[in-house]
Structure 1
Amino acid sequence: MKAEYDFSKMKSRPNPYATKLKKPVTMRLSEDVIEYFKTMAEEMDVPYQSLINLYLRDCVAQHRKLKMDWSA
């Protein structure tokens, strides 16, 4: 390896992963929901926010829709 590198001749290019970056959002979730995902995340050894994202991504991939009945 060289002791120093000359980056002055490098061409810049857009980040190829920019479209895959996550967007920060603020959500209000029930404490029991957060606790559920935190417990599951501990068991799986992943961050709970990543687990929630994976779950929601799976919902999108499977085109899941929530069945709700407001007439009761």
Structure 2
Amino acid sequence: MKKEYDFSKGERGKFYSPEAEFHFPIYLDADITEFMSRLAVQKERDLSELVNDWLRRDIELIQTVQ
């Protein structure tokens, strides 16, 4: 790493976009990933779509109980 860097030609906010969305990575345990991946293949659906649907149903269930 250099002791000093020259930012005199830098442009503030060059990569900033107010519409940008940040998606948090979620890491599943190996056994969960394996199960959900097999299920996604069986149902011919995307793994992310399947996991999101399951979580939405769980959220709905929790909200009905509260």
Q: Is this a same-fold pair by TM over 0.5?
A: yes
Q: 1:39 to 1:26 in 2, by over 3 A?
A: same
* Residue 44 (structure 2) aligns with: 45
* Residue 34 (structure 2) aligns with: 35
Alpha-carbon distance in structure 1 between the residues aligned to 2:22 and 2:48: 12
Q: Tell me, which stretches of 5 or more residues in structure 2 are unaligned?
A: 1-20
Q: 1:23 to 1:42 in 2, by over 3 A?
A: farther
State the Cα RMSD in Å: 2.0
Alpha-carbon distance in structure 2 between the residues aligned to 1:52 and 1:35: 12
CA drift of 1:28 comes to: 2.1
Name segments (4+ residues, structure 1) moved above 6 Å. none
Please report the TM-score for the alignment, with normalisation by the length of structure 1: 0.53
Structure in which a larger fraction of residues adopt helix: 2
Alpha-carbon distance in structure 1 between the residues aligned to 2:22 and 2:36: 20
Please report the TM-score for the alignment, with normalisation by the length of structure 2: 0.57
| Larger RCO (alpha carbons 8 Å, 6+ apart) | 2
